[in-house]
Amino acid sequence: MKIVCTDMFETQLQEILEDFVKQDPIATKKFKLYLDTVLYNMPTKVEKYKPSLYFDNDQIKEIEHQGYLIPFYIDNHKNYYVLLGIVKKQ
């Protein structure tokens, strides 16, 4: 399965990283590196992720990463995982 990012995900991630880098550039690199690792390993761990509470669709699950939620859609027809966004957990 291939991982695909929506424009919304990329925009939200960029905004988060810009805010982080103002506070602590080293922590920002660690956050991004760990996020990349989580996303890289996502296909092997997709079954452990819970369905998203924000969507009424079993094909949409979410990853929790350091206080942020990343909902993703499982598109079995195209063999894609589509990252829908990244938001602060409330």
- DSSP for 12-71 reads HHHHHHHHHHHH-HHHHHHHHHHHHHHHHHHHHHGGGSEEPTT-S-TTEEEEEETTEEEE
Checking if the pLDDT of 35 tops 90, the result is: yes
Grade residue 1 by pLDDT with cuts at 50, 70 and 90. Answer: confident
Number of domains in the chain: 1
Mean pLDDT of 11-22: 94
Q: Which domain holds residue 70?
A: 2-88
> What's the whole-model pTM score?
0.89
The CATH number of whichever domain residue 64 belongs to comes to: 3.30.2310.20
Grade residue 82 by pLDDT with cuts at 50, 70 and 90. Answer: very high
Average pLDDT score over the chain: 93
Grade residue 54 by pLDDT with cuts at 50, 70 and 90. Answer: confident
